[in-house]
Amino acid sequence: MRRRARISFAALIPALAFAQNATITGAITDPDGGIVKDTVIEATNSTTGAVIRAHGSDKGEFALSLPAGTYDVAVVMPCCQYGSSTQRRVVLRAGESRRLNVRLPWGSNLGTLGDDPILLLNDFRERAAVPSGPTPRTPEGKPDLSGIWINVYNPDTPPPPLQPWAAGVLRERTENGSKDYPGGYCLPANASSITRAFPYKFVQTPKLIVVIHESDTPGLRQIFLDGRGHPADWNPTWQGHSIGHWEGDTLVVDTIGFNDKAWLSLSGIPHTDKLHVLEHIRRLDYGHLEVEITMEDSGAFTAPWTRTFTATLAPPEEEILEFICNENNSDPKHYRGK
């Protein structure tokens, strides 16, 4: 006699819940219909604020599995060849399958080939191996951070937990195409240049580290290692005042004294003059650097914002290029908003 199989209803619940998810698939292309690969697609639930991400394939295709609900579906491009795209209030029913193709606009450089740092750096890594070997040290025995470093782009970095007014500013800047982006007007592009995609160079001495940033104004940053504290009467600046010390093999950099004019991202994350930045910088081996950066701002954030960036060492023949922004600057006319 054939025995009847027993199936636990509790065991079916996860499968049933998954089966009721909606599915969004699509292709991501540029304004000319060309494939845009290696993107990140974010679906934000309009009610809960939950964010679900997926990575686009080498063929520009993506797929998202989402519970029923209303979502803002965005492809966020950090810079510069392509602009970001958001489709708001996409309503999904349980079990629904939908095709949602995304055609990205040209970015701030109007699609100029070879003028997007992330695309260039990805191409560079495909052509050149990262140098290997143990961490070099200075005559004083400290890790030697010297060299030109190239950040590995991390598309999964979440935005900071913003206060309502700051979230409103970010939303407005995102929706108007970042038309007031300081970097487009030859002003400092970011309050923390080490987080940007462009190469940077450490010049290290026992009492001072100078960081040279490509494609930024002023392009120089000083980190004082001589035991001084922050000035009591510091005049707030775009990049603040940085002091550092060594904790074992980790360089700890403390920065305060910012004005409130810079952004913290190309999309327009704001901050106030209460911004406090703490960096832990480690040279993991000869070819790899790690930067853990924590930002606190009681005027704009609801909690600290911590991110970790990794960087790879450029070959010896590479150098930081001269950047003269206000010579024939044509960016402002491209940041027209929407």
User: Which pLDDT band holds residue 15 (cuts at 50, 70, 90)?
Assistant: very low
Task: Give the mean pLDDT of 40-59.
Answer: 88
* Residue 290, helix vs strand vs coil: strand
**Max Cα separation, the chain?**
91
Q: What does the mean pLDDT of the chain come to?
A: 85
Smallest CA-to-CA distance from 240 within 222, 263, 264, 226 is with 222
Nearest residue to 212 (alpha-carbon basis) of 294, 314, 82: 314
Residue pair 218/246 in contact (Cβ under 8 Å)? The answer is no
DSSP letters for 158-172: PPP-B-HHHHHHHHH
Which pLDDT band, with edges at 50, 70 and 90, does 129 fall under? Answer: confident
> What is the reported pLDDT for 10?
45
pLDDT tier for residue 181 given thresholds of 50, 70 and 90: confident
- pLDDT confidence of 122, banded at 50, 70, 90? low
Q: What is the pLDDT of residues 185-224, one digit of tens each?
A: 889 989 999 988 788 999 999 999 999 998 888 999 999 9
CA distance 97 to 99: 7
Ordered DSSP codes for 233-294: TPPPBSS-EEEEEEETTEEEEEEE-B-S---SSTT-----TT-EEEEEEEEEETTEEEEEEE
Please tell me the pTM assigned to this model. 0.72
- How confident is the model over 137-145, as a mean pLDDT? 97
pLDDT for the residue 14: 46
pLDDT at 2: 43
Task: Specify the pLDDT at position 4.
Answer: 45
Which range among 236-240, 312-316, 328-332 shows the weakest confidence by mean pLDDT?
Answer: 328-332
Query: What spatial distance separates the first Cα and last Cα of the chain, rounded to whole Å?
Result: 72
